[in-house]
Chain A
């Protein structure tokens, strides 16, 4: 099964949609000096650590849009992690795949057997607005745009339509931050608590 036609993480990390000084936006290579310069000029601020924990706690189901059947892709890592280390019902959305991690791959959000609580997106920055529209159409409350993908205009658009938006964060890392996995690997979780660890 080839994933060369998918728009999964293989392209998602390659471009960034940036807002130029004249107010126009365009997609440029994420590794370019301009992208790095403009990254320091971000104005959209997403949910805080506590709010992200709340989003993850309330959710029961996650749909991964742009999921790849290629085990080397980030989306495959996230899928494996969510299947095995969380209690979520996990769905994979990719019109070019039939099966991912032993489960059916769905062509779009509308084909899923339920409305997912979180739509986790591995798509290039310029595709994010259309994913927002798909999420709104099925009634999903949260769109989570993965680490390395940034589109401020899309984030503001989603919020104006009532979506909760997380952007440029990995759902695996954020879940692991609050559930022990990140801690096990020596990362700073920011969690200070005298209560027992949650699963």
Chain B
């Protein structure tokens, strides 16, 4: 082992994948096994009691999944990671670990729709109340914290389709002043563009389905923790209570800085069960190997496409914070100096009819409900997810009838622009016909 701090690109390829000691396999082996044999009854007992490290059952840990976990933890600058079957389950195990009935969460209102419903429907039904903050000012988050009940503050590095950027350092100050962890969903940014832990976040969650995997093939999620948050503080008594089913240990007393992630695996994965499949972990880990190169291509293309759209008379607005016209341009430059990723909304002149026509006439961009693929993806909320609403209802709900969401891929930028250009022409012809 060399005494060296290896760079991001080296860690993207190597972290978590030391050659297998038995076979010497250089690529990551896929351990497609539900369970693992014990050496002896004594060994089994020690593994079950968490007194030693070892595989038991793939719902809790699996060697292929572990490689993906360590790789993402290394790139985020975290202590470690726990992988899950999807981004939503990564969030769910995190929330379930920290909040129970009667507790409270403070979250940005500018979240992915599935995150909003997870908090507002399912967790609310379980007795966890969420206050959604419709502001980008950390002071408004501070005002929403209920001392003694609030357990965490949650926001996304880059929101979509607004393109808004979270003030991570400001939110971390607000959370820490109340002795709470800041949880950041950094799916759209990825650790290549922004590492929230370096700005004070305590927990980072990802939908690995998006840019981390990068090819639109595989569902997965991951939770990374910094190891810096003091889980012995009075807001989290569970970390210091005796755990009867693990032989009377206490999570904080026995594991210290490792307490959160050890408990997340040993309790939340055990009891909730959204384990990442080994084959999926292989595909995601392989995707991460090229993350730096793909993300650079994504932001380079996003810049070309966003600048072209903004200069085009057929377009009303472009919500990419890399543009000086975006209200969070300065924040983007601070937190995402290489560029604020490649997922953003733009508004076409002519409302719903032109937006719908654009979608119908693209031939390179794929019309589907996903982001973070190597391919350019496009969706028109007013004619899909919000199709049942009137124009006025759309405006009231903050979804402009002409809003189109783009996830710019890594094709040739000129070809992406060509496709949008010809589709806009066709849409306008159709709308005026």
List chain A positions with a Cβ less than 8 A from chain B: 9, 13, 31, 36, 48-50, 53, 70-74, 76-77, 80-81, 84-85, 147-148, 170, 173, 176, 178, 180-199
Q: Are A49 and B69 in contact (CB under 8 A)?
A: no
Nearest B-chain residue to A53, judged by Cβ: B1
Query: Judging by beta carbons under 8 Å apart, are B1 and A197 in contact?
Result: no
Residues B24 and A196 in contact, CB atoms below 8 Å apart: yes
In the bound complex, do residue B63 and residue A184 qualify as a contact, i.e. CB atoms below 8 Å apart? Answer: yes
Given contacts A50-B3, A53-B1, A186-B73, contact A80 B20 (CB under 8 A): no
List 12 A-B residue pairs with CB atoms under 8 Å apart, sorted by A's residue number: A36-B230, A72-B254, A74-B253, A178-B1, A182-B53, A184-B53, A185-B261, A187-B81, A188-B15, A193-B18, A194-B19, A197-B19
**Is there an interface contact between B258 and A77, defined as CB atoms closer than 8 Å?**
no
Give the residues in chain B near A199, CB-CB below 8 Å. 21
Which chain B residues border A74 with CB–CB below 8 Å? 253-254
The answer on a CB contact under 8 Å between A196 and B21 is: yes
Task: List B contacts of A147 (CB < 8 A).
Answer: 256-257
Distance between Cα atoms of A194 and B10 in the complex (Å): 12
Contact B52 A186 (CB under 8 A): no
Is the pair B52, A81 in contact by a Cβ cutoff of 8 Å? yes
Collect the chain A residues with CB atoms within 8 Å of residue B15's CB: 188, 192
Choose among B11, B66, B67, B249 the residue that contacts A72 (Cβ–Cβ < 8 A): B249
Q: How far is the CA of A31 from the CA of B230 in the complex (A)?
A: 9
Q: Do the beta carbons of A76 and B51 come within 8 Å of each other? A: yes
Residues of B1-48 at the interface with A, using a CB-CB cut-off of 8 Å, are 1-3, 6, 10-11, 14-16, 18-21, 24, 26, 42-43, 46
Chain A residues within an 8 Å CB radius of B261: 185-187
Query: Which chain B residues lie closer than 8 Å to A178 at the CB level?
Result: 1
Residue of A31, A36, A176, A194 near B53 (CB, 8 A) is A176
9 nearest CB pairs, A to B: A181-B53, A186-B69, A187-B80, A72-B248, A80-B51, A50-B3, A197-B21, A188-B73, A81-B52
B20 touches A13 (CB 8 A): no
Cβ-defined contact, A192 with B6, below 8 A: yes
Q: Is B49 an interface residue (CB 8 A)?
A: yes
- Given known contacts A85-B53, A191-B1, A192-B11, A183 and B247 CB-to-CB distance under 8 angstroms: no
**Given the complex of chains A and B, what is the CA–CA distance between A147 and B81 in angstroms?**
21
CA A194 – CA B53 in complex, angstroms?
Answer: 23
Within 8 Å of chain A (Cβ to Cβ): is B83?
A: yes
Tell me whether B254 and A184 are in contact (CB under 8 A): no
Asked whether, in the complex, the Cβ of B21 is within 8 Å of the Cβ of A13, the reply is no
A residues in contact with B80, CB < 8 Å = 182, 185-188
Determine the residue in chain A with the shortest Cβ distance to B14.
A192
Evaluate whether A173 and B52 lie within 8 angstroms (CB atoms) in the complex, with A53-B1, A188-B15 already known. Answer: no
Taken together as a complex, chains A and B put the C-alpha atoms of A197 and B19 apart, in Å, by 6
When distances are taken between beta carbons in the complex, the residues of chain B under 8 Å from A72 are 242, 247-250, 254
In this complex, what residue of A is CB-closest to B81? A186
In contact, B258 and A192 (Cβ under 8 angstroms): no
CB nearest neighbor in B for A173: B258
Closest CB in chain A relative to B40 CB, distance in Å: 9
Rounded to whole angstroms, the CA-CA distance of A20 and B341 in the bound complex is: 47
> In whole angstroms, what is the CA distance A196 to B242 when docked?
39
Beyond A85-B53, A192-B6, A196-B21, 19 additional contacts (C-beta under 8 Å) are A50-B3, A71-B51, A71-B248, A72-B248, A80-B49, A81-B51, A147-B257, A181-B54, A184-B53, A184-B61, A185-B53, A185-B61, A185-B261, A186-B65, A186-B261, A187-B261, A193-B14, A194-B26, A196-B18
Task: Give CA–CA (A80, B43) in the complex, Å.
Answer: 9
A76 to chain B: which residues have CB within 8 Å?
51
The complex places the Cα of A146 from the Cα of B400 at a distance, in Å, of 58
B24 proximity list for chain A (CB < 8 A): 196
Complex Cα spacing A185 to B80, Å: 8
* Nearest CB in chain A to that of B240: its residue: A31
Any A CB within 8 A of the CB of B70: yes
